[in-house]
Structure 1
Amino acid sequence: MGTTADMLAAIRKQIDAEAEPLTAVRTRLALVRKVAIGYEGARRTYASGSLAVHTMNHPVTDGDSGLVLDRRCYPQLGPEGGGEHPQEVVDDLCKFLGPLVREEYPKARVCTSKRGPKFYFGSPINGQDPTVDMVVALTRREGNGLWIPNLNKNTWEPSDPEGHVTLLNSGTASHRAIRRKIIRLAKAWNKQFDKPGVSSFMLSVWAYEFVEPGMGVADGLRTLFVKAAARLKAHQATPDPAEVSANLKPLLPAENVQRRLQKAGDALEEALLADGDEDSVAAALGRVFWKYVDNPKTNQLAAAVQLLSGRSAVPTTALGVAGPAVLIPPTRSYGDVS
């Protein structure tokens, strides 16, 4: 591998999910699905999200799942039934599931998220206490996918979480592996910002669209950044790849997200052009993954500041300044007496 690929591999090691919390969230998710299938009118359960498509990063935060109800048992539910809203059935499911989950996790409590029950287990592992989300869903009479709740509005919306898992797990083994690595790196980049610009799912959709078979991790990540930036700049939509739900939208104004993506793409391009020059690659990647890569230029500046804060004169050569060696006297704060 080249220098850029090596450094990206080192970043992936830093963001790897730890084995114990990962095992814990899988166990918790399996438990919730097991007890949920006993709910009246339950038709099937499914796993979704990062855990199901193998793109979970550290820390392990949650496991996503869904419970599909038999419409014959709930004829009044949903837009294609009697128009009944989801809040009541979600509340009833919470009451049913809570005691069953507490048989295994006595400190567990169940609340609600936007889509259904959310389980908190009160049993941290390595400082991580992953939750489980369960979406209450109805099959659609017309069209693909499911009806899922929006409890913020107490309405139903079309989506296809099972279809998304199928799409993101598609392709050859090598293509899946590369795409998953790229998604994990893109998610780590996005999470560095105080306010992430896009959802993890939107990044995954971009990877599904833009990362082609045969691409390496570095080139694939650069392609994701550049093509996503171009799409936002052109005011083009990102459609649901399952063609069920509405178009995906950034979490922040598109112009802001576009600039972030373009800067990241430009830095990846710079790293690839300088591949083999470790300092240049680190400097470029440090602008993309500033929480994971030590930028040698930043380190040099910090060292220079440290030298100048001393009590002795410093030669310019020690500061990396070209030209004849000249002694620079130390700085002195106002009021300092020598």
Structure 2
Amino acid sequence: MSLSTKTYPSLSTNTYPPLEQLLEQARRRIEVTAPELAEARTRRSEVAEILRNEFTGCRVYCNGSIAHGDALTPLVDVDLGIVIPDPGHRYGPGKRGPSELKERAAEALRTGLREKYGDLRIEVKGRKRSILIRFRDPLRPGWEDFTADVIVAIDNPYARGLYIPRWDSWDRSDPETHTSLVLDAIEKTDKTYSRTIRLLKHWARQYDKPALCSWHIKALALGCLTRPTSLLTALEIWFDYAIAELNQRDTPDPAHVGPDIKTPDNDRRAAIRRLEKARDTLHEAISLEQDGWGVLAHEALANFFGDPDMLPRPERAKVIGQHAARLRARRRPDHRAAAAVALVPARPAVRSWAP
């Protein structure tokens, strides 16, 4: 989506607060709103109810950004799955594929949603896994159409997890455990996990082809964001961990059921280069703040996200002025040290060990 279509609350650029405060302001600007969530959940519930009526005894699970607590604004899609009873074990690898179940679910959804949404479109053919519902009814005027991805699944009778569609056959997966792991991480980190994921997902959006999909970002975060931290620290931890992991291997399924999570086009080197470049920009911002150059740190953090609506850049005149001051300070180390002392707020002494 182009930046011109985004609408965020205003953010004053009269002052240049610490990077952590800038991140807090930025993540609030991209956080999904209560009205968006309410409408999306209403549509998700409508889809779920139709499927429950069609497949007696099924269970519905929710996944994706709403279920995981990291949805961004504007909210334009929702994800859910239905696990269909298969007491006769007629479906699964080496047996019947998912096409029959997907077509049946799609027809039920067409019939059940048409009265309210009219000219909606439901796509099945040519889709690897999900049924795609195009409501043709955006949540707000001027936004993209709102969609829903519906996965038709069956229980795996022989091992943990589910069988989910892969074209005309099946893959193993465990999306219910994925959601459980994410929610547990949010609780253990006092929401640092979900807030950091929001920032990372938005960072990835600046590229036409993100280095990692949203689930890949979350899966890597499950391995490194395990306690409450500041957002700035969490971003540092994630980038360092993600780069180290991808340098070794594809990312294992956190539920230890499905296949490894791969990078786009299975090109890990390209993904790593993108992550390294972003990490370097983030480290530059942190270093500038530590050295007392707050305006330049702000500029570097804005460069990191590449979205002036989400994180406005500082005034150009102030950036130029601090660049000049920094150049002068480099020629006079004593002046640079004095500038750093004057510009960085004093921090209380913290003991890193216990007696």
TM over 0.5, yes or no? yes
Letter paired with 2:60? T
Between the aligned partners of 1:212 and 1:223, the Cα distance in structure 2 is 10
Matched, 1:103 2:118: no
Between the aligned partners of 1:42 and 1:199, the Cα distance in structure 2 is 33
Matched, 1:22 2:22: no
2:76–2:138 Cα contact (<8 Å) kept = no
Q: What aligned pairs does 1:1-338 form with structure 2 within 5 A after superposition?
A: 3-72=18-87, 75-79=89-93, 83-112=95-124, 113-126=127-140, 127-128=142-143, 129-151=145-167, 154-171=168-185, 173=187, 175-233=189-247, 235-252=248-265, 253-275=267-289, 277-292=293-308, 293-296=311-314, 299=316
Alignment partner of 1:201: what SS?
A: helix
1:251-288 Cα deviation digits (max 9, x unpaired): 15211211121222222223233336421221221231
Alignment partner of 2:29: what SS?
A: helix
1:90-111 Cα deviation digits (max 9, x unpaired): 1122112211122332232322
1:21–1:130 Cα contact (<8 Å) kept = no
* Deviation of 1:171 (Å): 4.2
Letter paired with 1:209? G
2:192–2:228 Cα contact (<8 Å) kept = no
Between the aligned partners of 1:190 and 1:144, the Cα distance in structure 2 is 32
Q: Which residue of 2 aligns with 1:314?
A: none
2:60–2:81 Cα contact (<8 Å) kept = yes
Higher helix share: 2
Between the aligned partners of 1:31 and 1:278, the Cα distance in structure 2 is 49
1:159-201 Cα deviation digits (max 9, x unpaired): 1111100000004636141100100000011110121111100
Alignment partner of 2:39: what SS?
A: helix
Between the aligned partners of 1:265 and 1:212, the Cα distance in structure 2 is 20
Q: Which residue of 2 aligns with 1:336?
A: none
Q: Is the deviation greater in 113-122 or in 90-99?
A: 113-122
Between the aligned partners of 2:278 and 2:250, the Cα distance in structure 1 is 21
Q: Is the deviation greater in 269-278 or in 83-92?
A: 269-278
2:185–2:225 Cα contact (<8 Å) kept = no
Give the number of the structure whose alpha-carbon radius of gyration is greater.
1
1:57-80 Cα deviation digits (max 9, x unpaired): 1221211111111111x632111x
Cα distance, 1:174–1:5 mapped onto 2, change above 3 Å: farther
2:186–2:192 Cα contact (<8 Å) kept = no
Letter paired with 1:46? Y
* Deviation of 1:114 (Å): 2.8
Between the aligned partners of 2:186 and 2:203, the Cα distance in structure 1 is 26
Letter paired with 1:20? P
Matched length:
302
1:158–1:244 Cα contact (<8 Å) kept = yes
Cα distance, 1:40–1:173 mapped onto 2, change above 3 Å: closer
Alignment partner of 2:138: what SS?
A: coil
TM-score of the aligned structures, taking structure 1 as reference length: 0.82
1:212–1:220 Cα contact (<8 Å) kept = no
1:212-256 Cα deviation digits (max 9, x unpaired): 3132111111111121112223x3231000001001111152112
Between the aligned partners of 1:62 and 1:70, the Cα distance in structure 2 is 26
1:3–1:277 Cα contact (<8 Å) kept = no
Task: Indicate the RMSD between aligned Cα atoms, in angstroms.
Answer: 2.6
1:264–1:287 Cα contact (<8 Å) kept = no
Alignment partner of 2:117: what SS?
A: coil
1:276-316 Cα deviation digits (max 9, x unpaired): 6421221221231121344459x359x99xxxxxxxxxxxx
Letter paired with 2:299? A
Alignment partner of 2:82: what SS?
A: strand
Cα distance, 1:271–1:174 mapped onto 2, change above 3 Å: farther
2:20–2:232 Cα contact (<8 Å) kept = yes
Between the aligned partners of 1:145 and 1:94, the Cα distance in structure 2 is 23
Moved over 6 A (4+): none
Between the aligned partners of 2:269 and 2:317, the Cα distance in structure 1 is 33
Q: Higher RCO, 1 or 2 (CA under 8 Å, sep at least 6)?
A: 2
Between the aligned partners of 1:320 and 1:77, the Cα distance in structure 2 is 69
Letter paired with 1:243? H
Between the aligned partners of 2:196 and 2:48, the Cα distance in structure 1 is 29
